[in-house]
Amino acid sequence: MPQVSLKVNGKKVTVEVEPRTLLVELLREKLGLTGTHIGCDTSQCGACTVHLNGDSVKSCTMLAVQAEGAEVLTIEGLARPDGTLHPMQEMFREHHALQCGYCTPGMVMSAIDLVNKHPEGLTEEQIREGLEGNLCRCTGYHNIVKAIAAAWEIMHGKKAARAA
């Protein structure tokens, strides 16, 4: 079986996979990182979104072997070791941007990429367009959009994160 070596949440891993193993299967089944969800089999829901070398991608639509040498960041890699949440996670909590939570890891990963790539600012419309690849069955999106706008302020240093 082929071997794939990559960095996941800052840690180097080398794993044996089949050529057909998907990146999401590597993360969930081989590495036990079950925070990355699978919500569809048509590449449309975005629940499986992770960062690959800093870009949001659907880990259900990529072979694990395609991630050879890459840096992958999953929802588990966001909080600090002491448990302090990433500002995006904190704002999702504060603005009630989740109900069942199924879509949330993918939403958070897409949102962080979107905010990172738009230091100049983000309009509500851009946030909504930026979430095109993520579906939520519960929230109606409004609070997700609010959470992302609030996280933008913190991530780009316009506002301090609320002290825990």
Partner 1 sequence: MYNFAYHKPASLADAVKILSADPEARPLAGGQTLIPVLKQRLNKPSQLVDLAALGLAGIKVSPTALTIGAMTPHAAVARSAEVRKAIPGLADLASWIGDEQVRHRGTIGGSLANNDPSACYPAAVLALGATIKTDRREIAADDFFQGMFTTALEPGEIITEVAFPLPVEKSAYEKFRQPASRYAMVGVFVAKGPKGVRVAVTGAGQNGVFRVPEMEDALAKSWSPDSIAAIKVSPDGLVSDIHGSAAYRSHLITVMAKRAVAKAG
Q: Is 43 in the site for ligand FAD (CB under 6 A)?
A: yes
Per CB under 6 A, 38 contacts ligand FAD: no
Strands 71-73 and 3-8: parallel
Closest CA to 56 of 118, 130, 121, 3: 130
Closer CB to ligand FES, 117 or 137, in the complex = 137
Ranked by CB distance to ligand FAD, the top (closest) residue is 43
Residues 6 or more apart whose CB falls under 8 angstroms from that of 55 comprise 113
34 counts as binding ligand FAD under rule CB under 6 A: no
Among 38, 65, 85, 149, binds ligand FES (CB under 6 A): 38
φ, ψ of residue 51 in degrees (nearest 5): -100, 135
Could you tell me which stretch among 83-91, 110-118, 139-147, 155-163 binds partner 1 (CB under 8 A)? Answer: 110-118
**Pick from 47, 119, 106, 59: nearest CA to 78:** 106
In the complex, the residues that contact ligand FES under the rule CB under 6 A are: 38-40, 43-48, 58, 60, 98-104, 136-139
